[in-house]
Each structure stands twice: as C-alpha cells, then as structure tokens.
Amino acid sequence: MKKRSLLLLLCFLGLNYTSAQENLLLKDFRPVSIYNTPKTEVHKAKYPVIDFHSHPYAKSEKEIKDWVATMRKQNIEKSIILTYSTGERFDSIYDMYAKYDDQIEVWCGFDYTGYNQKGWTKKAIKELERCFDKGAKGVGELGDKGLGLFYSKPSEAPGLHIDDPRIQPLLKKCGELGMPISVHVADPYWMYLPMNEKNDGLMNAYTWKIDTSKEGILSHEDLLATLSNAVKNNRETTFIACHLANTSHDLSILGKLLDEHPNLYADISARYAEVAPVPRRTKAFFEKYKNRLVYGTDMGMDATMYQTTFRILESADEHFYTWDLFSYHWPLNGLNLNDETLKKIYSENGRKILKR
C-alpha cells in the first residue's frame, strides 16, 4: 500500500512539473539566482555624479523636494532634466524646478511647429533663443526611431531627421549658445530582429519592437548615419548620444563614431541591462573611452534605482537580477570599473560639457 502511494505521489509531482514547464509563459519567467556569490550593497556612488539623462518625473513641490533629497543621499551632484519641450510647457516645467538650480538643470526641445513651411527655421531659432533666455542650458532629448524626430512638445516632425538641412541652423545655434544636444537615435538592435525563438532579448524586445516594414522608416544603420552627419556638420556643437547610441550589441560601432567625432559624447542611461550581461567586453570599452562617456539613468527617481546602477558600475558581483527595473531574462554582472574611469564617467566629463 505504501509503495503504491509513493508511486502515485511521484506521478502527481511529475505531472505538475511537466504542466508548469509547458504552461509557463516567457513573460512570467522570473528566475532567482542561487549562486553563492558576493552581493554588494552600494548605498551611494563612490564619487560625485552628474546624471545626464533624467526627465521631469516629479509633478509637485513635495515630489521635487523628496527627489532632491534622494539625489543628495546618493551623491548625485546634478541631474539634467530633458523636457522635450518648448513654449508654455517648457516654461511651466522650468518654473517648477528653477529654485533647485544648484541640483537640477533644465533643457528644452526644438519647436517643430510648421517645419514643412517656409520660414520655419527662423521661428524655431527664435523659440530656442527664448527658451535659452528663460533658463534652458541645453537641448534634449531629441529622438528618432526611424520615422522622424518625435520627442517634442507641442509637435513632432515626421520625415525630418537630425541631418536634414532644415534643422542645421538650429544645431549651429546651439553651438553658439553653448547648449549641448542630447540625441536618441534608433533603439537596441534586438528590437529590429525577428520576434522568434532566436531573439535572445525577446522578453523586452517584443514590447519595444520596431516595425521595419513601415514606409519611409530608416534602418538602425541609417539612423546612426544621420547622427554622424549632424555631428560632423556642426563641429562647434557638443552632442550626447543617448543610451550608448543604442549600440549595446556592438560597442565598436559607437567606438568608431567617437573616434571620428571629437564633439560627440555618449550617455550610458537605461542600457545597463544590455551591457551588464557581457561585463568583460563592456568594462574594456568603458575604460578605453572613459573620456567620452557620461552617466545617466532615465529610469525614474527611486534610491534603489540609483543604487542598482552604482552596483553595476562599481562592483564585481556576478549573475544577479533586478526585475523591477529590467525586463530581459539575462542576469546582470558588475563591471568593477577602476577609479579613474568611475570619476570620468560619473562627473569629470560632465563638468567639461557643462562648462559654458
């Protein structure tokens, strides 16, 4: 009787295991590392930090105060607020954050209203100068995922790319005013690949997939070419390619751009999950190009978010997950960057850019 009961139990457990394996959806996959490896807690950055990629997340006076307090505890010296905005929207955001200008710097966008009409460039430059006089210190985040510049309020610019002749006078004016430009072109390469079993970034890539069949859409390579053209044609203007120029899959592409263009930098924001799975390659790249990279987040304003980025940059921890921030199934690893590289990326490069 006991033997029969044991067999039934084993069969039951076997069926449950098979059922779980067959019914588990990829989006519900949440592995937990059982490796007995170091787990470093980094409560604040080792050196002062300038965050070159944040947005106006705080919507009230209290939220701003709380956020500023969090920044100071995390050793964030300054945060750049990329508003995308011009006009009344920019003014309202600037007025909300202006009293914290020792901790926060607010950047505006470009006004694309009527960009297909004669005389638009002059109007856009006039609004840029007005935002500058109001207090904008830079421009960003400009964004193009293939169909044109779309990160902008109040209007977008389908079909207008960063190297379009119509936009060149604005890029030049930014150089004259000492306004750096933050530019997002393309997206991580997994978003361009077929959404099938061979795409190893599928969990996150499917959410952000790029429809390459759309008429007129530029490819990943073409978008990087528009960035390169704009930077080359405006040598007196400083450009910051957001998210490592979305070349996490092959950082040599970004390396070539940095080698060609002395007025180009790249921020490391919101691509920690793409580069931390390959720590040796990433560490080598970061240390080689330590003079051209700047820190960024683009992931909210929680203390744990900052601490996760510091852990990835500073520690040598292996095979850990942070599901509340990153949607890939890849484990993360610390880069264990040397002190010179940390200082450069955290703030020294940023201070050079912000020194007008």
Give the 3-state DSSP-derived string for 238-304, with helices as H, strands as E and coil as C.
CEEEHHHHHCCCCHHHHHHHHHHCCCEEEECCCCHHHHCCCHHHHHHHHHHCCCCEECCCCCCCCHH
Is 309 part of a structural domain of the chain?
yes
Pairing state of beta strands 148-149 and 157-158? Answer: antiparallel
**Does residue 269 lie within any of the structural domains?**
yes
Task: Provide the CA 347 distance to its chain's centre, in angstroms.
Answer: 17
For residues 115 and 157, the answer to whether their CB atoms sit within 8 Å is yes
Residue 124 lies in a domain: yes
Per-residue DSSP letter, 213: T
Give the count of beta carbons closer than 10 Å to the beta carbon of residue 37.
13
Q: Which residue has the tokens 């519900």?
A: 28
Kindly report the length of the chain: 356
Which pLDDT belongs to residue 7? 47
Q: Would you state the pLDDT for residue 20? A: 59
CB distance 121 to 127 below 8 Å: no
pTM given for the model? 0.93
**Per the domain annotation, does 106 fall within a domain?**
yes
What is the DSSP track for 156-179? -EET--TT-GGGHHHHHHHHHHT-
Rg (CA), the chain: 23
C-alpha span between 222 and 232 (Å, rounded): 15
Domain tally, the chain: 1
Tokens of 174: 């930014």
Give which of 104, 58, 66, 106 is closest to 82, Cα–Cα. Answer: 106
Which residues in the chain come in under a pLDDT of 50? 1, 6-10, 12-13, 15
pLDDT given at position 19:
57
What pLDDT shows up at residue 28?
86
CATH number at 98 reads 3.20.20.140
Is residue 279 situated within a structural domain?
yes
CB of 110 closer than 8 Å to CB of 142: yes
Q: Is 233 part of any domain?
A: yes
Structure tokens at 104: 């926060």
Q: Where are the beta strands (DSSP E) in the chain?
A: 49-54, 76-82, 104-107, 139-144, 148-149, 157-158, 181-185, 239-241, 264-267, 293-294
Predicted local distance difference test score (pLDDT) of residue 258: 98
Query: 5 lies in a domain?
Result: no
Print the domain residue range for 77: 46-354
d(CA 356, CA 354): 6
> What pLDDT is recorded for position 5?
54
- pLDDT value, residue 123: 97
Per-residue pLDDT, 10: 46
